[in-house]
Amino acid sequence: MFKWLEKNLPKIVMAPAVGLIGWFVYGFVLWTLYISFTNSKILPKYELWGVGQYIKLWGSRKWLIAVDNLLIFTALFLIFCVVIGIILAIFLDQKIRAEGVLRTIYLYPMALSFIVTGTAWKWILNPTLGIQKMFIDWGFENFTFDWLVNREMAIYTIVIAGVWQSAGFVMALFLAGLRSVEDEIVKAAKIDGANLFTVYWKILLPMMRPVFFTSFVILVHISIKSYDLIVALTQGGPGISTTMPALYMTQTAFHKSQVGLSAASAMMMFMAVAAVIIPYLYSELRRENAR
């Protein structure tokens, strides 16, 4: 008995972690999946109802707006974060004075919650007393900047705040990537007569492919899950113009009590994330095995 215990001790120690994740992640996802095939309203019902909730979901105008917004947001969020991140990383890589200070400034938003970020930007972007007033007071009398309350433009304010929060993170990833490149490669390029632009464009950035991949996965992941920022900045408004899937899911579940429908939307999000993450995990694992 004692012998058996000793032999299996590692597995016994592992058990709580595996058990908790098995139940709270995998079990719960399966439960949600099951509920998405039922006609649950306030309380879950357990008889199967088929794919009705999914049909309802994809027929819902609000969900379609949410998906639309997600696509716009993801595309812009990705592009701006990566471009700004790379520019900052490359520039910081030039033996800059006060690099430490600048890096700290670029990255501190990552330490703040999206609620804090949202609250700050909401104040900055508000049309009466924010940026608009600042420019008018500076003498640009016809300056208007009312994106926050403009149905068409409100989604872009979320992009502005999101990029502000995450661009520094991409910078950190790329800076770490650039720093890991062997010195001699850059020296060789200098002797070959490549100017700074060519060194980065033709040699170093192509070497950063794994970093691009990682940034892509993480940023897409952040954007699919984005919820807090929208709640703090626009609450999905004006109207429903800035709804995104995560917001749709919680609103449907907890305000409208459409448990089955919200489970269906949650499963859609789950599948979107899985489509990005599974290839990523697979390639990461292969890279590690190859080492």
Residue of 163, 156, 192, 189 whose CA lies nearest to 79: 163
Token reading at 128: 């009466």
- CB atoms under 10 Å from CB of 32, counted, come to 16
Quote the CA–CA distance of 162 and 121 in Å, as a whole number: 10
Tell me whether residue 20 or residue 55 sits nearer to another protein (CB atom): 20
Tell me whether residue 152 or residue 197 sits nearer to another protein (CB atom): 197
48 SS3 class: strand
Residue of 234, 223, 60, 248 whose CA lies nearest to 152: 234
CB of 203 to another protein, least distance (A): 5
Tell me whether residue 29 or residue 240 sits nearer to another protein (CB atom): 29
CB of 139 to another protein, least distance (A): 12
Tell me whether residue 213 or residue 270 sits nearer to another protein (CB atom): 270
Residue of 226, 210, 228, 225 whose CA lies nearest to 273: 225
Q: Tell me if the bond preceding 279 is cis, omega within 30° of 0.
A: no
CB of 196 to another protein, least distance (A): 7
CB of 222 to another protein, least distance (A): 4
Tell me whether residue 116 or residue 149 sits nearer to another protein (CB atom): 116
CB of 89 to another protein, least distance (A): 11
